[in-house]
Each structure stands twice: as structure tokens, then as C-alpha cells.
Amino acid sequence: MPIRSMKQLIQDADSQNKAVGAFNVGNMEMLLGVVTAASELNTPVILQIAQSRLLHSPLYLMGPMMISAARNAPVDIAVQLDHGQTEETVREALSLGFSSIMFDGSGYEYSKNVRLTSRIAAMARDAGASVEGELGAIGRSGEKELKMICTDPDLAQEFVQKTGVDALAVAIGNAHGHYAADPKLQYNVLERIHNKVSIPLVLHGGTGIRPEDFRKCIRHGVRKINIATADFDALTRGAQHYFADREDYNYFGLNEEMVHEVYGTVKKHILIFNNQISLEQIFKNQEEKA
């Protein structure tokens, strides 16, 4: 199928009061797990790779594989660079055929974030790709002091108008990585942003957020939810299970176990984001696995 843009998928999700799962990948097994789950559930997804992961998963190798997976899938898939940091990497992703760019200028002062994001947005539009920006400081779990600056709703409105981005990643108490405790999402801030901004919102740091909180975010305008750490955890867990259960090892069995674990993790999140499974059933499934 033709590769879709992130903008197209989140617009479709908005009309159905759902959110699109954006799943980060780092190798072939993760790709297979994501695409298998999306195909089984007949649900569009976004394949992502973050610039910070390119040291271990080079873009010139991962990019073509992600593009091929999207084109050969029976469901609509967008391919996005996640947390792009440099113009050089953005250009490489666009040249490979990525349909969306997420540029992260949140570490800069506001005016520089606007200037850089606007420049990247223009580059992406010229290539026929959509753009996601970020405003506010999304923390990283595990830091001694979790630095969190919630997105200012008034600045969000101005940022969207000045940059022309298609989606906005917001900081409302969410963080990348593993949460040390249940995150305290600021729904009052999210609601104010949703009321002021005309484009769909994005929730980063999805790993560890409770299903009921995902649903509440969706009701407040979130149309794209990023899952990264849970995907990498699933891949590692698959390897752990494989080596713990047998003494004779081979790559093909390892491959299947890793794909299966990623598939299960992605499928669970898709069902939550699609409102296709009740919270009671989610809790029951978790108890059965415990």
C-alpha cells in the first residue's frame, strides 16, 4: 500500500475519537512485531525511529527496511523520524522516503524552537511530508530530578500558528523511559491546550501510563501516542524467555520469540487506543499474566 503521512492517519483517528499508536523500532524483529499486530487488527500505525537510536540502528539500514515494511503491509502505515535533532538527519530521512518528521526543538529557548521548527516544517512540506513539533519539557524518567515544564497553552497556540506544524507533542507530566511511580498527568493543562490549539496533540512517554489515563488523554484531543521503551523491553524480554526455556539455541527460534513479544505489546496498546477492549478486560489479562 502507499505510505501514508502522520497527518492523514491522525486526521482519520480524530474523526473516530481514537489515537494512532506510534511504535519505535530498532531492528527487523521489532518491525515484524508491529506490522503483524497492526495487520491482524486492521489498524493503521506509525513506524518510528528516534535520531538518538541511530548509533545502534543506522538510518541507512533501518530506513529502507521501514519503508518496505510500510509499503508491503495490508494496512495504512506512516514512517516517521522521531525526535529529529539535526537538519542533516531530517534531510536523510526525507530522501529515504519518510512520510513524517518529528523535530524536537524543546531543548532550546522558545524563539529558537520556533525558528528551527519552522525551517524543518518547510523542508518537510517541500518533500510532501507532515511535521510534528514539541513545546514544553518532556522529562526523562530515572533522572534524580525529573525536569518538567508543562506546555503553556497560550504559547502552544502561538507556536502552532508560527510554525505550521501538523501535530504538537505536549508536556503534561509525561516522561520518556520508565516511570519511578505512576505519572501524574495534568489534565487541566491538556484541556486548556486542546481548547486553544486547532491541530491534534501527541503524547510522548507512553510506556507506563495506565490504560484509563490513555483513554482520558484521547478524550482531551490526543490523537497520536508514542510507545518506545515498552517495545524495546518486549524485544529484550523475548530473548530472556528464549534463553531461559532451552539449552539448544538457534537464531530462528530467538527471532520468533522476540517478534512474538513485540507483537503482544503492540497489540495491547492498539486495542487500548482504538477503544476496542474494556478496562476490565485489560486488568483481567494483567492479573492472569502476574
Give the residue numbers annotated as catalytic, written as ranges: 82
Give the ranges where 138-180 is alpha helix by DSSP (H): 153-163
Q: Using alpha carbons only, give the angle 46, 135, 108 rounded to the nearest 5 degrees.
A: 115
32, 97, 176, 169: CA torsion to nearest 10 = -130
d(CA 107, CA 104): 8
Question: In DSSP terms, which residues pair with 4 in a beta bridge?
Answer: 78
Judged by DSSP in three states, 82 sits in: strand
* C-alpha cell at position 202: 501527541
The percent of the chain in helix, strand and coil, each rounded to the nearest 5, is 50, 15, 30
d(CA 223, CA 203): 8
d(CA 266, CA 36): 9
The count of other CB atoms within 10 Å of the CB of residue 47 is 29
| Side chain identity at residue 102, one-letter code | M
Longest dimension (CA), the chain: 60
